[in-house]
Amino acid sequence: MVPPASRDFPYWLVAAAFCGAAAALSIAASDLYAQIFVTVAKGIGITIFVTIIAFALASALGLGVALMGLSRSKVLSQVARFYIEIIRGVPILVLLFWIAFAGVPAFVALWNALTAPLQAAGLIGEMQVRDVSLLWRAVIALMVAYSSFIAEIFRAGIQSVPEGQIDAAKTLGLTRAQRFRLIVWPQAFRTILPPYSNDFIAMVKDSSLVSVLGVADITQMGKVYAAGSFRFFETYSIVAYIYLLLTISLSLALRGVERRMRHRSEA
């Protein structure tokens, strides 16, 4: 019988660390791999920026949609359900193209139509489609795509809080905002955190889709280098290596946060 301590030992992490160290040594020892790594690593900043901003905006929008779905208003709950089902049914790549090349131009045309009197008075200038950079179009697309998934995570977490505790908070005279902030959210967050963390890690990987718009993230830097040098195996091996460094590091950090929260709730 395998001892519990031995069963829980992260052998996979030791193997991953060994492979990562071997890859790092190979990169350091090879001028070619080192050059590719330096070139591709220039896109790390854009990848992190897109991931953090898009996920923060998606979380805010997702929470709003989740609260709408839990509203007593039939109209709000149906609008939220319509939004979630429609957005979840469209592939992220298709949504990215639609927002970048159809949604943003339509928004710019609508904005100019609504602000025509102000433009005529010289108070503001006419907005051009090129004023919205491809980077921000990508961020908006990822925000919209992930907000539908995050809304469902928030909804499930909020509904997991026992009704009895909410009724007790009402008896104590807490307002709805106070009940949510003091009673519902702290308990719901413990339920939400694991799938919420998974979505954040998935966002890191899906941020690579912005490369189709020419945004200079990790994947785009790799594509450009591989196209010019024809070193496809070496280049995309480095791209995969960098993404693995990011995602495994994040996974370990978030797992540590989950573990600390679980121990704190059990104390």
Would you place residue 136 in the very low, low, confident or very high pLDDT band (cuts 50, 70, 90)? Answer: very high
Predicted confidence (pLDDT) per residue in 85-95, tens digit: 999 999 999 99
Entry pTM: 0.89
Predicted confidence (pLDDT) per residue in 166-222, tens digit: 888 888 888 888 888 888 888 888 889 999 999 999 999 999 999 999 999 999 999
Predicted confidence at residue 16, as pLDDT, reads: 87
Would you place residue 103 in the very low, low, confident or very high pLDDT band (cuts 50, 70, 90)? Answer: very high
Q: What is the dihedral of CA 238, 241, 246, 251, to 10 degrees?
A: 170
Distances (CA, A) of 182 to 185, 188, 258: 7, 11, 20
Q: What is the DSSP string of 57-101?
A: HHHHHHHHHHHHHTSS-HHHHHHHHHHHHHHHTS-HHHHHHHIII
Mean pLDDT, rounded, for 5-30: 83
What backbone phi and psi angles, to 5 degrees, belong to 217? -90, -170
Predicted confidence at residue 6, as pLDDT, reads: 59
Residue 266: CB partners within 8 Å, gap ≥ 6? Answer: none
- CA-to-CA distance for 126 and 111, rounded, in angstroms? 9
